[in-house]
Amino acid sequence: MRKLRKLGTAVALSAFIGAGMITFSATVHAAGADRSVQVRCALLQRAIDAAIATFGADSQLVAYLQGEYATYCSQ
């Protein structure tokens, strides 16, 4: 009976910890969102530089990438 009680307590505790992880994981991930935006903007800038070097500054790809950069990274 004592082992069954310990097992029940362990299962209840694991369910509580699992529910907490599921509940708060999105919040913790969102807290690091600024860093991911910075990384994406840096990669987008590298893509712009590469497109300028490859296709020239007046290509449609460069214009598109600069528009995306202006929309998401110049805040």
| Average pLDDT of the residues in 58-70 | 89
Q: Which pLDDT belongs to residue 19?
A: 66
49 shares its domain with 72: yes
Q: How far, CA to CA in Å, does 70 sit from each of 36, 37, 65?
A: 17, 13, 9
Name the residue range of residue 67's domain: 33-75
Task: Extract long-range pairs of 31-40: CB within 8 Å, 24+ residues apart.
Answer: 37/72, 37/73, 40/72, 40/73
pLDDT band for position 41 (cuts 50, 70, 90): confident
The tens digit of pLDDT for each residue in 25-40 reads: 555 455 555 567 788 8
DSSP letters, 20-40, are: HHHHHHHHHHHHTHHHHHHHH
52 shares its domain with 21: no
Q: What is the mean pLDDT of the chain?
A: 76
19 shares its domain with 54: no
Token digits for 22? 């599921």
pTM for this prediction: 0.54
